[in-house]
Chains A and B, each alone.
Chain A
């Protein structure tokens, strides 16, 4: 039992700190905070990380990753959040990339990995369908063989940032079988292919990120299938565990909690600030203690992963607690803002006009944050997984 950093770790920490100080992440952040320049900001930041060789901490070195150990990744995340630097978009780097280098053939690795690392290719995730959410295996989008190609027909839904995407990785049905998991294949599809249409789904936070993606006789080379036909479910599942661990966003929650503390130090009531309000203190420290615990839960999971145990049901626990904490922070932020959390800032009335500097942000966080317990496999589904796999129920 020891979590003190070694001399090498401390040297690494210094290196990371120096990088962030030089990289000036606030420029990219600025771009990312406006919908019109969101993609530009993300790509710009990713390229900065890419040039430094740090864009893919978890990937093995042979595929262009940083090859860091668990401690280094942890140090990096802490420093990133401290520096208020953006996170990378997960679809390429954290989701499809690992599937390609683990299950793809050499040609696929050569073809796809460089664009994922450099940020030149934007990826989106095409799993969910209108009829297949929690019950993903019941998906109906079909891919029928036609010579060297597949012909794809069907609809994907909730596809985040499909409007920016060059590529989509999809689960499709290549065979009707009795066990629904069996006939599913993992396909990479060029978004420029004729027959694909993307339609936006307006969401309650007013930001455009969700889409429906329709496939109408879309021709996809069989060469774009990862691994064996009918084995897509297995590949996707191994990836879901990583996705869930990432969704926990422990480091981000730490920084958000600190922001909350700063907000509370400014918000006044009855001539004093909210930071000295006993109710606020109770609510704040309750979240803080849970987060302190989750930080170590994450370290335990990461340490197990380093010993080549893949994160299994623990990733479900991380997802549940991590998203619950995110939402608790959002709710407390919203309550701290009080009535001002209800105001929508726009070009008509800016945050400065309104005279409240965090209400608008608190509201946006709260509304979008509701989705965290739904995506990546809902928290109810995660509990089912733990009940079954860990508790043996």
Chain B
């Protein structure tokens, strides 16, 4: 039994926590999210220089070969500092799909550019009618000789406006909800027939709806096998789910600390509001929520080397479910205990809460994962 970090992981944590504590500030973050692409390219270069962009990629593709623990360590610090960057869409979603599923040639071309911070990417996997169901895809890809012809619309493509290349989930056979018949294609953002509707998310970051009209892609841009894309997509999203839960934990613990500090400083009725027992108990609940989330995060991280085992699947569902519920509770309490200050734009509290809200709904919310957990736990 050992929950301690290796020396390397400790170093990664130190470097990320130093960065968040010293080089990055809420003011800088607020400036960054107002830039047109929703992040600062300078920050991205800095992350590349620190080696963080290489962390989850396999050594075969020039990466660091990091495991679930390495990723967890990094993402938690990103959460603590409310770091606005395309790490999730470019590295964890787009990059890892390539890393796990693309041909050697494609990987050798693209992964080094990702690690160097030269390439921005997105994974377009959602559709309007699908809600959280990955297999619900109407966007069609039809073979035409050496090419596939793609038509359809993907929604809420994270980093969709800045991406140079996108991986798009499409239906190549079967019915709208079939698990079989999903294929993933690499598409250039400036390919003819591709257009985007850009918008801002509540956490300040950018996303887009992606419109595909008669987009021609060569068959060698297919990733993960024709009709067999869903398993790859699921694997990538599972890993990213652990990643964003670690980020959420960072957000939650930061909100808890901020609230505790505020309750010590803010005086009403001649005393610090932190001296009221009812508020003390509520902060104890926030603290407990963080600890419980951390335990499930460790649990899912420990089983991550058996990604298809029922045990890991249950761990993941429980993790996303609890992170969603507890994250919401911690966010609500943080605002409430700050009183009027909690709803000002000036304080970072509301911005942490907004990021938590976005993460809560990404890859399925608490209710969704609870139903999947029930299906595994209570199957007849």
Contact = CB atoms under 8 A, between A and B. Distances in A.
Contacts of B371: 278-279
Nearest to B131: A269
Contact of A349 (B198, B336, B342): B198
Given A344-B200, A354-B197, A202 B346 contact: yes
Nearest to A383: B278
In this complex, which of B128, B136, B153, B202 has the most chain A Cβ atoms within 10 angstroms of its Cβ? B202
A204 B350 contact: yes
B131 A268 contact: yes
Contacts of A343: 156, 199-202, 207
A154 to B, nearest CB: 17
A346 interface: yes
A371 B341 CA distance: 10
A2 interface: no
Contacts of B177: 270-271
Nearest to A267: B131
A240 B238 CA distance: 51
Contacts of B131: 267-270, 274, 338
Contact of A355 (B155, B198, B339): B155
Contacts of A312: none
Contact of B343 (A280, A334, A371): A371
Interface stretch (B85-93, B225-233, B252-260, B362-370): B362-370
B31 to A, nearest CB: 15
B152 to A, nearest CB: 13
Size bracket, chain B contacts: 35 or more
Contact of B200 (A279, A334, A346, A366): A346
Interface stretch (A17-25, A57-65, A68-76, A373-381): A373-381
A342 B365 contact: no
Interface stretch (B5-13, B116-124, B183-191, B353-361): B353-361
Interface of B: 126, 128-133, 136, 153, 155-156, 176-177, 197-203, 207, 209, 267-270, 273, 276, 278-279, 328, 332, 335-336, 339-340, 342-346, 350-351, 353-354, 357-358, 361-362, 365, 367, 370-371
29 contacts: A133-B339, A134-B269, A134-B273, A134-B339, A135-B268, A203-B343, A205-B343, A206-B345, A210-B340, A210-B344, A267-B131, A269-B136, A270-B177, A278-B371, A279-B371, A283-B367, A327-B332, A338-B361, A342-B361, A343-B201, A348-B199, A349-B198, A349-B199, A353-B199, A367-B343, A370-B335, A374-B339, A374-B343, A378-B336
Given A133-B340, A271-B177, A348-B199, 9 more contacts: A135-B269, A210-B340, A270-B133, A274-B131, A337-B361, A339-B155, A355-B128, A355-B155, A367-B354
